[in-house]
């Protein structure tokens, strides 16, 4: 069975390997591209916490800091949205984060933070302009745009070609963020919708799932909001 991976290409390799190992045929079809910003400055002295909501936020911050500032990051309290982001942070900065919620959503991360903060602490969130506002709106936080989430060129035409490729196949569509889903489904026409309805959609978590539902589809959700969790759902489909 074919499995369409819509996450950015540079973050699809591990997922594709897991699929191949289980006998699936991965199709790399990124509906999102990550473009890192270079000309960004930040005064780390202003912040007590740094919050990361994606591995791209970690990489983006690392890219703009000199060695002295990279060391300063280790002195901050660190909160991350999930285990993949935690692993990326440890890889780049050599430190484990202070907070990881059990459920990998911004809402659950906010709940965990509110248990330990004193109300006067300041937060830095390295992210993208398309980020959700729940953390910023509920914390004394500044957003630092270290990367942009960009729609690939000619995506509408590419989706039309994908429709033709999948027309007579059994397949699974996978989405790891609301934006990957939005960029995909806004170009899905009625013909493709009918084809998709006969197949499967897997979303990494409830926030992504809600975006998909807004387009009239019902995705399957994993118990754990990771690629490994998605794999468990896919293996059960098989």
Q: Yes or no: say if 227 and 3 are a contact pair by the CB < 8 Å rule.
A: no
3-state secondary structure of 49: strand
Q: Yes or no: say if 178 and 208 are a contact pair by the CB < 8 Å rule.
A: yes
Percentage above 90 pLDDT, the chain: 92
Cross-strand pairs, 148: 35
- Rounded to whole angstroms, what are the CA distances from 138 to 53, 109, 113, 181? 15, 11, 10, 26
Question: Which pLDDT belongs to residue 238?
Answer: 66
The mean pLDDT of 121-148, rounded to a whole number, is 93
Q: How far apart are the first and last CA of the chain?
A: 8
- Each residue of 107-146: b (16+ CB within 10 Å) or e? ebbbebbeeebeeeeebbbbbbeebeeebbeebebebbbb
φ, ψ (nearest 5 deg) of residue 40: -130, 130
3-state secondary structure of 60: helix
Q: Yes or no: say if 103 and 78 are a contact pair by the CB < 8 Å rule.
A: no
Tell me the CB-side half-sphere exposure of residue 20, using CA atoms within 13 A.
Answer: 9
- Enumerate domains of the chain plus CATH numbers: 2-32+151-237 (3.40.50.10090), 35-149 (3.40.50.10090)
Question: Which pLDDT belongs to residue 130?
Answer: 85
The residue whose two tokens read 């002195």 is: 75
- pTM for the predicted model, two decimal places: 0.83
Question: Which pLDDT belongs to residue 183?
Answer: 97
pLDDT digit string, tens, across residues 73-123 = 999 999 999 999 999 999 999 999 999 999 888 999 999 999 999 888 999
Which pairs from 196-203 meet CB under 8 Å and 24+ separation?
199/166, 199/170, 199/171, 199/172, 199/173, 200/171, 200/172, 200/173, 200/237, 201/172, 201/173, 201/174, 201/175, 202/172, 202/173, 202/174, 202/175, 202/230, 202/233, 202/234, 203/174, 203/175
Query: How far is Cα of residue 12 from the mean position of the Cα atoms in its chain?
Result: 11
């Amino acid at each position: 069975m074919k499995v369409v991976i819509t996450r950015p290409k540079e973050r699809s390799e591990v997922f594709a390997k897991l699929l191949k190992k289980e006998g699936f045929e991965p199709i790399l079809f990124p509906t999102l591209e990550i473009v890192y910003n270079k000309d960004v400055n930040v005064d780390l002295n202003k912040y007590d916490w740094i919050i990361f909501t994606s591995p791209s936020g970690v990489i983006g911050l690392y890219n703009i800091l000199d060695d002295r500032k990279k060391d300063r990051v280790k002195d901050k309290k660190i909160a991350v949205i999930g285990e993949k982001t935690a692993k990326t942070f440890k890889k780049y900065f050599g430190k484990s984060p202070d907070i990881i919620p059990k459920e990998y959503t911004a809402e659950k991360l906010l709940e965990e933070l509110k248990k330990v903060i004193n109300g006067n602490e300041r937060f830095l969130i390295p992210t993208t302009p398309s980020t959700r506002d729940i953390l910023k709106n509920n914390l004394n936080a500044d957003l630092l745009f270290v990367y942009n989430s960009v729609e690939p060129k000619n995506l509408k035409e590419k989706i039309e070609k994908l429709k033709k490729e999948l027309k007579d196949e059994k397949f699974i569509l996978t989405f790891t963020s609301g934006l990957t889903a939005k960029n995909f489904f806004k170009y899905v026409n009625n013909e493709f919708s009918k084809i998709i309805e006969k197949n499967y959609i897997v979303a990494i978590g409830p926030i992504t799932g809600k975006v998909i539902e807004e387009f009239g589809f019902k995705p399957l959700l994993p118990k754990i909001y990771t690629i490994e969790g998605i794999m468990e759902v896919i293996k059960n489909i098989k």
